[in-house]
């Protein structure tokens, strides 16, 4: 069974292995053991922090574990706030109007304006899944499990949350947007600029980026075509967020032009529609040798067929989330197998949070 859980100290080698596969533009997970260890330390401290009444600098990184093999095959994360300790920059795609009554000219010109509008907001980030596990709704579990955690602990996050999506670049990591704009001010490659920001070195952005509006129609066609577009590997992640109510509001990354999606936490579908139920755990020996074949078949079908549901426990440091399938409607209780209960780290009659994976 696939299980979402907080990352722990023993996961460094697995996290490093995943970081090596993410590619250029994935700044929240870099293949540097020292920095990854610091990140793990920060995450462990965040999950262990008690009596949190407001978000600050917490980092909630979770992993997808195959409980059968113990392999770590994916990551997903939430930053409680951004921009408080170091500037967080983005471009807003706006409009400037140029008009002349005498000439009868009225032009609305799109512009890019450097800003810090996301300062203080929560960010969902670090979504990555190994290619061989991109099936069986694992990607949906990985992406949407974060919203179960946010629904259970809303005090740890801001009212509004956003996600930066990776923009378009080629196999060599060349970004048309960067080549057309950023390179003229930084005189370095896109990869090098990305690495600097991933290390927290963002002061150079304020020092070198133009503070005046950038006229989009003066950019080359190649840059205009990718503005607000996502990398092909990021398209599934974008669709999943849009299913949950995230929307593009004309904010883009200053390096690759990728879009930022945003939503109010309480408007996110999985947050809004999830409910608390009591777990009714079926003992492992419920079906003994005297049971009929028909009874066995009926119970197996009820568990393995029907709609998919996200189920999470209600714990912080020991948070767990899994995906189950049920054909029967859910009442005040939800029936779980012994294996599912063990993966969730719960006992009989303990509360769990449940929401349908995707009703659309």
**Residues forming the active site:** 231
- Scanning the chain, the segments in alpha helix (DSSP H) are 12-22, 33-48, 138-152, 176-177, 183-186, 190-198, 203-208, 221-226, 235-243, 269-273, 293-304, 338-344
131 Cα distance to chain centroid: 17
Q: Comparing C-alpha atoms, which of 60, 11, 73, 69 is closest to residue 36?
A: 11
Nearest to 243 by CA among 138, 140, 163, 124: 140
Exposure class string for 298-316: b at 16+ Cβ within 10 A, else e: ebeeebeeeeebbbbbbbb
Q: For the purposes of burial, counting CB atoms within 10 Å of the CB of 15, is it exposed (0-12), middle (13-18) or buried (19 or more)?
A: buried
Six-digit token string for 292: 């009929």
Look up residue 299 and give its two tokens.
Answer: 């119970």
Q: Which residues pair with 106 in a beta bridge?
A: 99
- Give the side-chain half-sphere CA count within 13 A for 37: 4
- Percent composition of the chain: helix, strand, coil (DSSP 3-state, to 5): 35, 30, 40
| 229 within 8 A of 257, measured Cβ to Cβ | yes
Give residue 44's Cα distance to chain centre. Answer: 18
């Amino acid at each position: 069974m696939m299980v979402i859980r907080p990352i722990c100290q023993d996961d460094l080698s697995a996290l490093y292995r995943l970081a090596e596969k993410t590619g250029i533009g994935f700044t929240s997970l870099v293949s540097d053991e020292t920095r990854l260890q610091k990140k793990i330390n920060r995450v462990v401290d965040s999950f262990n922090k008690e009596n949190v009444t407001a978000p600050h600098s917490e980092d909630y990184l979770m992993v997808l574990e195959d409980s059968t093999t113990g392999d770590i095959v994916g990551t997903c994360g939430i930053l409680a706030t951004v921009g408080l300790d170091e500037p967080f920059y983005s471009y807003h795609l706006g409009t400037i109007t140029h008009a002349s009554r005498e000439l009868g000219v009225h032009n609305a010109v799109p512009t890019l304006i450097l800003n810090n509008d996301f300062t203080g907001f929560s960010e969902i980030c670090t979504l990555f899944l190994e290619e061989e596990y991109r099936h069986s709704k694992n990607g949906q579990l990985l992406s949407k499990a974060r919203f179960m955690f946010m629904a259970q602990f809303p005090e740890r996050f801001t009212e509004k949350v956003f996600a930066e999506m990776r923009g378009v670049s080629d196999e060599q990591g060349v970004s048309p947007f960067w080549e057309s704009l950023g390179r003229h001010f930084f005189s370095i490659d896109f990869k090098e600029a990305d690495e600097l920001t991933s290390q927290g070195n963002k002061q150079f952005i304020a020092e070198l980026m133009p503070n005046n509006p950038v006229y989009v129609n003066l950019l080359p066609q190649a840059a205009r075509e990718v503005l607000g577009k996502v990398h092909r590997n990021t398209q599934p992640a974008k669709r999943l967020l849009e299913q949950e109510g995230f929307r593009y509001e004309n904010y883009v990354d200053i390096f690759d032009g990728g879009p930022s999606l945003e939503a109010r936490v309480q408007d996110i579908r999985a947050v809004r529609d999830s409910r608390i139920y009591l777990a009714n755990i079926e003992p492992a020996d419920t079906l003994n040798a005297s049971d009929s074949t028909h009874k066995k078949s009926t119970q197996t079908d009820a568990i393995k067929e029907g709609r998919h549901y996200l189920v999470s426990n209600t714990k912080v440091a020991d948070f767990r989330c899994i995906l189950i399938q049920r054909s029967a409607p859910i009442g005040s209780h939800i029936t779980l197998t012994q294996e599912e209960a063990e993966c969730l780290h719960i006992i009989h009659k303990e509360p769990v949070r449940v929401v349908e994976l995707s009703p659309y």
